[in-house]
Copies of this chain bind each other. A is one copy, B any other.
Amino acid sequence: MREHLRLSLSEIERLAFDALLSAGFSAAQAGAIADNVTAAERDGCTSHGLYRIPFYLGALANQRCDPQAVPELIVNERAVVHVDAGSGFCPLALRTGLPALTETARRHGIAALAIRRTYNIAALWPEVEQLAASGLVAFAFTGSNASVAPAGGTRPLYGTNPMAFGFPRDGPVPFVFDQASSACARGEIELRRRDGRRLEPGWAIDADGWPTEDPAAALDGAQLPFGGHKGAALALMVELLAGALIGELFSVESSERDVHGIGAPFGGEFLIAIDPGACAAPGQSAIHTARAEQLFERVLAQPGTRLPSARRHAARERHRADGVPVDAELVGRLRARAGSRSGIGKAT
C-alpha cells in the first residue's frame, strides 16, 4: 500500500502551478493546466490529476514544445472557430477558444472549435462540462499516442481517442460523459503497472498479438478498443475529426514524431457546441432540460443503474469537503520541483 497525503483542492492547484512555473511554464499555461489537474483530482480521476504533472514537465525535453506559448484565436463570420495553440498545451488553448465557441454557437445555433498545434494530456470532460454548464450541448474529440489496435489488427495505430459529451441540466452539474474508445484509459494501465496490479481481460494484447493481463506486456503491445469493431470505428472517427478534418496529425504520426519517447501527444482537438434554443420546435420554447430529467428519472428507477459521471460527482462532493488523498512520493517529487513555493500537505 502506497503512502498518501491528504491535500485540499487549493493545495493541489498551488502545487501543480508552482511545479510548472518553476519549470519555465508561463503563468497562463501553468494556471490552465493546474486548473485541469485539480478538477481531475477533485473528481477522483487520479490518472489525470497530479500524476500528469511529470508528463507536462517531461514534454519540455521536446524542444518544439513551448511552455510559454500564447494561443492565437481566429474567428470569422462562419461558425467554425480556430485556435493555434502555438505548440503549447491544450488547457490554455481551451481557455482561449471556449468563450468564442460559446458566443458563436449562440449566434449560429451550432458551432465548432478546431484547436491545432497543441500538446494534449489533459482530461477531456472539463471542456464539455463548462460548455454544458453554460447551457450548450457539447462534443469533444481528441487523439493521443498510438496505443490501440484497429479492428482485426494487432499493432498500435489509434490513440485511446476519447469522446466527451455534455448536456445541460437545471441542477448544479450538467450531464457529462468522457470515454476512451479503448477498453480502458492508458493512464489506468500505467497506474496498474506502478501498483503491481493485473489488467482486466479484453483490455490489451501483447507485442505478438496475444491477449494479456500484464500491464508491462500491454504497454509493449497494443490496447484494444471497447466493444470490438464498434469501439474501433469510434476511434477511427476521432482520428478523422481531430486529425484529417482540421489538418492535424494522427495519433500514430504524433508517436512517430516523438523520437525521444517523451510521451506527450501533439496534434489537435475538435469540439462541437449546440444551442438548444435553436433546436426546439419552431415557435416553441426549449424544454430540453426538463425532458432530460424525465429520462434520467426513468434510468434511475431501475435498480442497479447510475448515470455516467455519478461516481465522479460523488468524489467531487467528498473531496471538496475532506481534501484528496494523493500519492506521497509524487507530492514529494513535485514539492521538490516547486522549490520553496509550496510547503504544503500533511500526512494522513
Q: Which of A50-58, A235-243, A313-321, A329-337 interfaces with chain B?
A: A235-243
With A and B bound together, what is the CA distance between A15 and B275 in angstroms? 43
Q: Within the complex, which residue of B157, B183, B274 is in contact with A112, where a contact is CB–CB below 8 Å?
A: B274
A27 interface residue, CB < 8 Å from B? Answer: no
Whether A295 touches B165, Cβ cut-off 8 Å, given contacts A111-B110, A112-B109, is: no
A98 interface residue, CB < 8 Å from B? Answer: no
Total copies of this chain within the assembly: 2
A282 interface residue, CB < 8 Å from B? Answer: yes
Report B-chain residues with C-beta under 8 Å of the C-beta of A154.
302, 304
Report B-chain residues with C-beta under 8 Å of the C-beta of A247.
279-281, 284, 286-288, 291
Q: Mark A108-131, 1 if CB is under 8 A from B, else 0.
A: 111110101000000000000000
Q: Mark A248-278, 1 if CB is under 8 A from B, else 0.
A: 0010100000000000000000101011101
A175 interface residue, CB < 8 Å from B? Answer: yes
With A and B bound together, what is the CA distance between A155 and B300 in angstroms? 12
Quick check: B79 and A280 within 8 Å, CB to CB? no
Interface size, A (range): 35 or more
Main SS at interface, chain A: mixed
Q: A residues near B, CB below 8 A?
A: 74, 76, 78-80, 82, 84, 107-112, 114, 116, 137, 149-155, 157, 165, 167, 175, 177, 179, 183, 226-231, 233, 236-237, 239-241, 243-247, 250, 252, 270, 272, 274-276, 278-282, 284, 286-289, 291-292, 294-295, 298-299, 302-308
**15 A–B contacts from the bound complex (CB under 8 Å):** A74-B282, A78-B107, A78-B109, A109-B112, A112-B278, A151-B306, A183-B227, A226-B227, A229-B308, A230-B231, A233-B308, A243-B291, A247-B284, A247-B288, A272-B272
